[in-house]
């Protein structure tokens, strides 16, 4: 049975990491001592849920975590340093420290090393997250022990909601833009001034004008979406932000 280790100290281990062409040892103290860390651990690099949901959302919400006192977000997996570095680059997840637990020592001493031999994985970490303050585990979210790869409580939104229960939920914003578009620049500036993080998709790099028409029914730039709703162009966005500020 997996153990909840709230109130105990994190294991004292040395992680073998790679920086450039050099091996660099990183100790638990270097990561946790005198710091507040949100750590999540998962079964494996490049695996579906880990790559499509677990890592991206923590990376997206890094600024929100920082606002609420988290010094660093750490992703742990029982993979070697080369794999973890390649995975971070593939994910473009530069807001997270990818920490290789190649021998499974950290996961084992956390009581989270489990048998995944049926998948050809060998021994891997169970999926969980935790908040650590100055080396002491304050809160853990451990996925239920059921078949498969459950992903219900160790996600970034659950951790953030526990960390800052009264804070408004962060908005999800995206903008369809094109190079050299002054209205696109104005929309991006408006989002930045409103402190709303967003993802930008650029015409003929990330999508075509056909995709824009299919998704929005429009053919002008930019087109801004927030929380699944089409806001529209720069003028529409400015009106939306003004109404939000008055609410």
List residues with catalytic annotation. 50
For residue 154, give the 3-state DSSP assignment. coil
b/e map of 155-191 (b: 16 or more CB within 10 Å)? bbeebbeebbeeeeebeebebbbbeebebbebbbebb
Residue 40 CB burial class (10 angstroms; 0-12, 13-18, ≥19): buried
Where do we find the tokens 């001493």?
109
> 130 phi and psi, to 5 degrees?
-155, 155
Tell me how far CA of residue 212 lies from CA of 12, 164, 200, in angstroms.
Answer: 51, 36, 13
Residue 228 CB burial class (10 angstroms; 0-12, 13-18, ≥19): exposed
């Amino acid at each position: 049975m997996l153990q909840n280790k709230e109130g105990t100290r994190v294991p004292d281990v040395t992680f073998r990491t790679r920086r450039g062409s050099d091996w660099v040892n990183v100790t638990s103290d270097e990561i946790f001592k005198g710091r507040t860390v949100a750590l999540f651990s998962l079964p494996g690099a490049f695996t579906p849920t880990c790559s499509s949901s677990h890592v991206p959302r923590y990376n997206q919400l890094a600024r929100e975590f920082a606002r609420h006192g988290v010094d660093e977000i750490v992703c742990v997996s029982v993979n070697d340093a080369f794999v973890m570095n390649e995975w971070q680059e593939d994910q473009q997840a530069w807001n997270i420290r990818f920490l290789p637990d190649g021998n499974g020592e950290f996961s084992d001493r956390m009581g989270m090393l489990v048998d995944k031999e049926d998948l050809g994985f060998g021994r891997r970490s169970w999926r969980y997250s935790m908040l650590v303050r100055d080396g002491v585990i304050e809160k853990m979210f451990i996925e239920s022990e059921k078949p498969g790869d459950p992903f219900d409580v160790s996600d970034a939104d659950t951790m953030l909601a526990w960390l800052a229960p009264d804070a408004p939920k962060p908005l999800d914003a995206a903008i369809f833009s094109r190079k050299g578009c002054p209205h696109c620049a104005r929309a991006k500036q408006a989002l930045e001034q409103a402190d709303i993080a967003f993802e930008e998709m650029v015409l003929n790099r990330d999508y075509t004008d056909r995709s824009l028409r299919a998704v929005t029914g429009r053919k002008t730039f930019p087109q801004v979406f927030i929380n699944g709703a089409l806001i529209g162009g720069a003028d529409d966005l400015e009106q939306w932000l003004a109404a939000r500020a008055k609410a």
